[in-house]
């Protein structure tokens, strides 16, 4: 059980977080369970990392080099990209991404890392905002990566190929499958992991929470602004 | 009104906006001690369930904004066309990937 029973969280959310947390500990398509757990551990270290702090204070985060605090079990380039995604996502650039995927990891690996790290951000953030200790890291399972990806992913002008989906509009004015839901479509298991955790938190219409849709959109937009998110 | 999404003081007219802004800002900036106090205050006005649900949304968007930023995902075409003026007025346009590259790439 991840959350005490007295908290006012839905059973859907509790089950989804538990499922996602356990899934992180299992082999994905490009990383082992142990490597995925190390990604979570590395992301947590980014929050208090001295190098990340100095980069945040710099005019450009790419002008400061050095070594990150925290675990170094993953390759240095992966540690660096996890720290950047966790600590300063609003200043990631296409040039940086191109360098990472041209010289260090495949785009498929990149997508899986984004999924694991951002899923853990949701779960850790909820724990912290409710005044809870962070959950213990998932138990890594044995098993090898499956290597499966979506060979039919398409280029729509983002940094990574995405899920091909029709763009007809739903009643809320966005496509039935908005671009954000397509963004990790190169690796279907990455989509599944992230949106399993995300889905009970929010919907574009008829939100199943005690706050109104307008209040939810206000909070969402405020987070987007703080994190300097264009989408 | 929309500028309040990127500014601290102006108002949108959303019910309990001040409480929601305070909770969200403290949550995303990691100000845990302040957040604890704000949670208790907001329970008196919003109610305990609403406070929890506001934080549920904030946590989700702390994750999904990173997905968007790390994948460089473009705006949905209809949104891009419909919000061009609004993005300029609110300052959101400065978060575009092209503008970020111009600012931060060496």
Contact B58, A129 (CB under 8 A): yes
Q: Does the pLDDT of residue A70 top 70, yes or no?
A: yes
What is the structure's pLDDT at B3?
A: 54
Q: Does the pLDDT of residue A151 top 60, yes or no?
A: yes
Residue A19 located in a structural domain? yes
Nearest Cα to A114, choosing from A100, A133, A127? A100
Q: Does the pLDDT of residue B2 top 60, yes or no?
A: no
B91: which DSSP letter? T
Residue A195 located in a structural domain? yes
In this prediction the pTM is: 0.93
Radius of gyration of chain A from Cα atoms? 18
Q: Does the pLDDT of residue B8 top 60, yes or no?
A: no
A5: which DSSP letter? T
Residue B6 located in a structural domain? no
Q: Does the pLDDT of residue A6 top 60, yes or no?
A: yes
Q: Does the pLDDT of residue B5 top 60, yes or no?
A: no
A53: helix, strand or coil: helix
What is the structure's pLDDT at B1?
A: 46
Q: What is the mean pLDDT of residues A184-207?
A: 95
Taking only the tens place, the pLDDT of each residue in A77-135 is: 999 999 999 999 999 999 999 999 999 899 999 999 999 999 999 999 999 999 999 99
Q: What is the mean pLDDT of residues A27-39?
A: 98
Residue A206's region, left for phi above 0, alpha for psi from -120 to 50, else beta, is left
The two three-digit tokens of residue A4, written as one number: 């005490």
Task: Return d(Cα B105, Cα A219) in angstroms, integer.
Answer: 30
Q: Does the pLDDT of residue A26 top 60, yes or no?
A: yes
Q: Which of residues 27-86 of B touch A (CB under 8 A)?
A: 27-30, 32, 35-36, 39, 47-50, 52-79, 82
Task: Return d(Cα B106, Cα A60) in angstroms, integer.
Answer: 8
Nearest Cα to B65, choosing from A202, A99, A26? A202
Residue B4 located in a structural domain? no
CB contact under 8 A, B101 and A95: yes
How many structural domains is chain A composed of?
1
Encode B40-50: b = buried (16+ Cβ within 10 Å), e = exposed: eebeeebeeeb
Task: Return d(Cα A178, Cα A134) in angstroms, integer.
Answer: 31
Q: What is the mean pLDDT of residues A9-25?
A: 97
Task: Return d(Cα A212, Cα A205) in angstroms, integer.
Answer: 10
Contact A79, A39 (CB under 8 A): no
Residue A3 located in a structural domain? no
Residue B3 located in a structural domain? no
Task: Return d(Cα B11, Cα A21) in angstroms, integer.
Answer: 38
Contact A140, A32 (CB under 8 A): yes
Residue B48 located in a structural domain? yes
Task: Return d(Cα A4, Cα A14) in angstroms, integer.
Answer: 10
- B5 at A interface, C-beta within 8 A: yes
What is the structure's pLDDT at B93?
A: 75
Q: Does the pLDDT of residue B102 top 90, yes or no?
A: no
Residue B91 located in a structural domain? yes
Nearest Cα to A44, choosing from A102, A104, A125, A157? A125
A149: which DSSP letter? -
Residue A64 located in a structural domain? yes
- A165 at B interface, C-beta within 8 A: no
- Identify the domain containing residue B66 by its residue range: 17-104
Q: What is the mean pLDDT of residues A126-145?
A: 96
Most A CBs within 10 Å, among B32, B63, B74, B88, to test the A interface? B63
pLDDT-based confidence at residue B13 (cuts at 50, 70, 90): confident
Taking only the tens place, the pLDDT of each residue in B75-88 is: 887 777 777 777 77
Most B CBs within 10 Å, among A82, A225, A228, to test the B interface? A225
Number of cross-chain residue pairs from A and B with Cβ atoms under 8 Å apart: 242
For residue A217, the tally of other CB atoms under 10 A from its CB is: 18
Alpha carbon of A18: minimum distance to chain B alpha carbons (Å)? 15
Nearest Cα to A214, choosing from A204, A200, A228, A201? A204
The two three-digit tokens of residue B18, written as one number: 């001040």
Whole-complex ipTM: 0.95
For residue A63, the tally of other CB atoms under 10 A from its CB is: 11
What is the structure's pLDDT at B94?
A: 76
For residue A166, the tally of other CB atoms under 10 A from its CB is: 7
The owner of tokens 């996502």 is A89
DSSP H helical segments within A104-182, as ranges?
Answer: 107-129, 179-182
Q: What is the mean pLDDT of residues B84-103?
A: 77
> What proportion of chain A, given as a percentage, has pLDDT over 70?
100
Q: What is the mean pLDDT of residues B7-33?
A: 88
How many structural domains is chain B composed of?
1
- Identify the domain containing residue A174 by its residue range: 11-226
CB contact under 8 A, B60 and A202: yes
Residue B1 located in a structural domain? no
Q: Does the pLDDT of residue A219 top 90, yes or no?
A: yes
């Amino acid at each position: 059980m991840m959350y005490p029973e007295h908290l006012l969280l839905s059973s859907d959310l509790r089950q989804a977080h538990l499922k996602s947390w356990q899934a992180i500990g299992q082999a994905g398509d490009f990383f082992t369970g142990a490597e995925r757990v190390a990604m979570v551990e590395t992301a947590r270290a980014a929050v208090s990392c001295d190098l990340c702090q100095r980069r945040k204070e710099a005019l450009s985060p790419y002008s400061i080099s050095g070594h990150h605090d925290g675990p170094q079990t993953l390759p240095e380039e992966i540690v660096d990209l996890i720290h950047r995604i966790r600590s300063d996502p609003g200043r990631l650039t296409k040039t940086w991404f191109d360098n990472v995927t041209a010289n260090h990891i495949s785009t498929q690996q990149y997508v899986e890392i984004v999924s694991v790290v951002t899923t853990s951000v949701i779960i850790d953030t909820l724990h912290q905002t409710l005044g809870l200790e962070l959950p213990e890291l998932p138990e890594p399972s044995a098993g090898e990566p499956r290597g499966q990806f979506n060979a039919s992913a398409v280029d729509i002008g983002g940094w990574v190929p995405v899920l091909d989906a029709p763009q007809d509009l739903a009643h809320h004015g966005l496509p039935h499958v908005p671009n954000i839901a397509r963004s990790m479509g190169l690796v279907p298991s990455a989509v599944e992991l992230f949106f399993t955790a995300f889905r009970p938190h929010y919907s574009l219409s008829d939100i199943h929470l005690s706050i109104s849709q307008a209040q939810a959109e206000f909070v969402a937009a405020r987070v987007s602004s703080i994190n300097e998110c264009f989408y | 009104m929309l500028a309040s999404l990127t500014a601290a003081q102006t108002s949108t007219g959303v019910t309990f906006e001040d409480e929601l802004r305070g909770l969200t800002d403290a949550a995303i900036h990691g100000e845990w001690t302040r957040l604890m106090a704000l949670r208790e205050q907001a329970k008196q006005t919003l109610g305990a369930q609403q406070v929890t649900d506001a934080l549920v949304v904030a946590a989700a968007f702390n994750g999904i904004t990173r997905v968007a930023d790390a994948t460089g995902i473009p705006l949905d075409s209809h949104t891009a066309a419909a919000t061009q003026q609004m993005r300029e007025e609110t300052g959101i346009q400065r978060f575009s990937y092209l503008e970020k590259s111009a600012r931060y790439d060496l």
